[in-house]
Amino acid sequence: MFTGNEEQTISATSPAGSSAGVLVDCGTSYAKVHYIDTGERVIIPSRRLLKQMELYEFVAFTGHNYIKNAKRTVNELVALAEGALALIDEPDFTVLDSGARDVKYVHVRDRRVVGMDWNTECGAFTGQIIELLTRYFEIDAAALPRDAERLPVVCGVLGMTALFDLISQGATHEAAFAMFLRGIAFNCETLVGRPEKLYLSGGLCDNPAFVKSFSCETIPLGRFVLIEGLKSLEKK
């Protein structure tokens, strides 16, 4: 989850003052920006970046939001696969990217991509809703019950309705939220075939409550996996 405290402002030039060539993963809510000349990385609201597009030299781009003047545009699944391969040494693995609007995944076997897909239905606005609820309830991940049952949910939007139904029936905010997260995590595990180990990408890597809601071993890779994919592709 992006807390807002990490937000940094970017400008038309790099921190060193030279012309800024950037790699960008511009998602629904936030844009991840990598300055090629300095290696500095920042995260800002996508709306801000989209208002300043003419100020930047977009060397490579991926993400939901379209940047028309990018020199190279890369499909998100391709960027996710390339980034995961750059960060993970294992021959076989599954990586799941939980974004603001959808979830996407890649299966790798013998260092080769054997499957990839995304889901905008069961993952509908999962990231945005988890971030919203965490802030609204002022949730402390350490305070969430570890033995919470799973709330059957279809997606983030419908799950939020079920969550507030639980609260109206007397459940605490923490208990209802924990059940909601269990339901979302269960959907994600089912989507990717319920592996024994799962690597996570995206903003929800910063939400320990979400990471701990999975039943399998879960390893967060952070928010710049797709940027790593763009870096890898630029070297080829």
**pLDDT tens for each residue of 78-125:** 999 999 999 999 999 999 998 888 889 999 999 999 999 988 666 566
Q: Which domains does the chain have, with CATH numbers?
A: 1-73 (no CATH), 75-236 (3.30.420.40)
Instruction: Please say if the pLDDT value at position 62 is more than 90.
Output: yes
Average pLDDT value for the chain: 86
pLDDT score at 4: 33
Q: Among the residues of the chain, which ranges form H helices?
A: 46-51, 76-87, 126-137, 156-168, 173-191, 208-211, 225-235
With cut-offs at 50, 70 and 90, classify the pLDDT of residue 12: very low
Instruction: Please say if the pLDDT value at position 7 is more than 50.
Output: no
Among 117, 137, 118, 146, which residue's Cα sits nearest to residue 214?
A: 146
User: Does the model's pTM come out above 0.75?
Assistant: yes
**pLDDT tens for each residue of 25-48:** 999 889 999 999 999 999 999 999
pLDDT score at 157: 78
pLDDT score at 204: 87
